[in-house]
Every structure is written in C-alpha cells, then in structure tokens.
C-alpha cells in the first residue's frame, strides 16, 4: 500500500516539535527539508553528527525520511550563483545517506535571471539542454559515488519541462545515479491540460521505471491571474518552493483543489510502485489535515 507523506518544511518549528506535529497528523514518512529553527543546516554547515541527529529524531517518531529536498536552479544564468547553488546541492548529496535516504530532489532550472519558475527562451534550445545535461550527468555521478540518487523533477517552465524532454534526458544520462521524482501536475500547460488522461498515460508508459518518489498536489487553469503566484503559509522564512503556486496559465494548488485525475494517477503509479511514498505539497499547515484526508480517500477508493 502507498504511504502518505509530507514535506517537513511546512512545519516551521524546531526539529523535535516538527516531527511530533507531523506524526500527530498520522503521517508515516517525510520528505526532508533542511530547515529547522534549532539546527543550522545551511551551506557549509552539514555534518554526519547533525544528519544522524535529524535522522534519529524522525525515526524516533516513526517517520522515516524517504527523500531529501535539494531544490535549486541548477542552470542559474549567473555562473557564480550557479556554482554556489550546485556546491550546496552536492553537499546535501554527500550527506544524503546520513540523513536517512539516498534520494535528493531538484527541478532542472531555468535560464531566467529573475525567477526559478519562469520560462526563458534558452530553456528550449539545444545549447540550453546540453548545458543542463552536463550538470545533471555530473550530479548523477556525484550521487552514485556517495551511494545516493539525484532525482530530477520535471516542471513545464524549466529546461526539462515535458514528457519528451524528460525521456530525452534519461536517454542521454542513462546512469544509476539518476532517478525521477514523479509529479504529474508539472507536465501540464494550457495546450495539454484538456488532454489530461492522455498525458498521464504517456508519462507512465514511458517513464515508470525511472520513478523513485511521488508528489501530491493539483493543477488547474489560473483564470485571470497570470502572474507568478505565491501563498502566505504563515512562515516568514519559508523557502520559495513552498509558497509557489504557479505562473502564467496554470495554477498548482493543494491536492483535491484542482482538476488532476487522481484516480488514474494513483492507479498507474501503483502498477510498478505499489508501496511508494506520495508526498503532499503546496499548502499551508492548517490545510494539511484536509489534504491528507483527500489523499487517503483516493488511496482507499483505488485499492492502493
């Protein structure tokens, strides 16, 4: 049976309090965000002792860490900024096993200098793809050398933003250090959201073997608001990735608040990954009980 999990970053507390609150909501796994009020896990501050402390606290609360957030813009157009971001991502990868999971996740980035989620023309060029491929190949090798797996997460406005681009990347970086974070909502744009079942089936027909972890949010047309959308989740220090809710024609709300065909998604996911963690995201802390009830209901209705 599938497991419902949650990003630890939606709980802006100290380590022990975060674990206690997550477990009290009935979760049995977490995607680990390296942000707690009482332990410094910033660039240059990771260590085996700190990683073990985090791992053990979550284990003590029956919350095994299933994957680790390493989200950053891996092709940031400012080369110095890109290097700084990649250095921290590699630092996370080196300590991943000590934190309790081999899987470290990031999207593939954009050449837009203003936002990590807004499209840039270079994203869809051969030169841009090749530059991103070289970065991902290096991350996959680094992960493999440290017993880890770098999991890319497709997102429509990034360099790897479609089913076809995802397949192409895995064909060109065919390496045991590379896996896929499955989030079906990230493949939809205005031109294909009305072909939802076709796109979902295409994703699973071509990429099922690459999947390591899955996400649960939702997708819908954005209506009149075409801006980059963020939600106040009650934490002034929250990472932008946790407040982001879409840009342009597409909005990405919490699970159960959009148009994603969850029944088809979960049935196809369960075919080859019957025990996979499914991690809830894109919500504020007070909406988590509703979202978990929705996801649990879909698990039950589909027998997964």
Residue 249 lies in a domain: no
Q: Which of 82-91, 116-125, 184-193, 205-214 has the weakest average pLDDT?
A: 116-125
Could you tell me the residue range of the domain that residue 70 belongs to? 3-220+255-301
Strands (E), the chain: 3-7, 30-32, 65-69, 103-107, 149-153, 178-182, 211-216, 220-221, 229-230, 244-247, 250-251, 277-280
Average pLDDT of the chain to the nearest whole number: 93
Q: What local confidence, expressed as pLDDT, does residue 114 receive?
A: 87
CATH number at residue 53: 3.20.20.150
pLDDT band for position 245 (cuts 50, 70, 90): low
Residue 230 lies in a domain: no
Q: What is the mean pLDDT of residues 10-33?
A: 97
Write the DSSP symbol of residue 125.
S
Strands 244-247 and 211-216 come out as unpaired
Q: What is the mean pLDDT of residues 59-80?
A: 97
Strands 220-221 and 149-153 come out as unpaired
Q: What local confidence, expressed as pLDDT, does residue 222 receive?
A: 83
pTM (two decimals)? 0.94
% the chain with pLDDT above 90: 88
Q: Does pLDDT of 178 surpass 60?
A: yes
Residue 284 lies in a domain: yes
End-to-end CA distance of the chain: 5
Q: Does pLDDT of 227 surpass 80?
A: no
**Beta carbons of 289 and 25 less than 8 angstroms apart:** yes
pLDDT band for position 29 (cuts 50, 70, 90): very high
Total number of domains constituting the chain: 1
CB atoms within 10 A of CB 83: 11
In terms of C-beta distances under 8 Å and separation of at least 24 residues, what long-range contacts does 109-113 make, across chains too? 109/72, 109/73, 109/74, 109/75, 109/76, 109/158, 109/159, 110/73, 110/75, 110/157, 110/158, 110/159, 111/75, 111/77, 111/159, 112/77, 113/76, 113/77, 113/78
Residue 195 lies in a domain: yes
Q: Does pLDDT of 78 surpass 90?
A: yes
């Amino acid at each position: 049976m599938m497991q419902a999990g949650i990003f630890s970053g939606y709980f802006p507390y100290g380590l022990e309090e975060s674990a206690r609150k997550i477990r009290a909501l009935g979760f049995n796994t977490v995607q680990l965000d390296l942000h707690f009020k009482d332990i410094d896990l910033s660039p240059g501050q990771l260590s085996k002792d700190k990683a073990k402390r985090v791992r053990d606290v979550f284990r003590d609360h029956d919350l095994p860490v299933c994957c680790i957030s390493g989200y950053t813009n891996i092709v940031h157009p400012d080369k110095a900024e890109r290097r700084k971001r990649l250095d921290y991502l590699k630092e996370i990868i080196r300590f991943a096993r000590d934190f309790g999971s081999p899987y470290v996740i990031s999207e593939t980035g954009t050449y837009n200098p203003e936002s990590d989620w807004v499209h840039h023309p270079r994203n869809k060029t051969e030169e841009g793809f090749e530059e991103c491929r070289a970065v991902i190949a290096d991350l996959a090798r680094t992960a493999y050398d440290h017993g880890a797996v770098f999991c890319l997460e497709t997102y429509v406005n990034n360099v790897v933003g479609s089913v076809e681009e995802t397949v192409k990347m895995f064909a060109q970086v065919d390496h045991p250090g590379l896996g896929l974070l499955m989030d079906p909502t990230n493949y939809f744009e205005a031109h294909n959201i009305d072909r939802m079942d076709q796109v979902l089936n295409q994703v699973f027909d071509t990429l099922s073997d690459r999947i390591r972890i899955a996400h649960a949010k939702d997708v819908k047309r954005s209506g009149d608001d075409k801006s980059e959308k963020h939600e106040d989740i009650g934490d002034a220090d929250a990472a932008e990735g946790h407040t982001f809710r879409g840009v342009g024609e597409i909005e990405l709300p919490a699970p159960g608040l959009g148009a994603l065909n969850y029944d088809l998604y979960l049935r196809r996911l369960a075919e080859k990954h019957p025990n996979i963690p499914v991690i809830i995201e894109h919500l504020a802390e007070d909406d988590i009980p509703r979202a978990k009830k929705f996801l649990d209901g879909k698990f039950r209705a589909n027998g997964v």
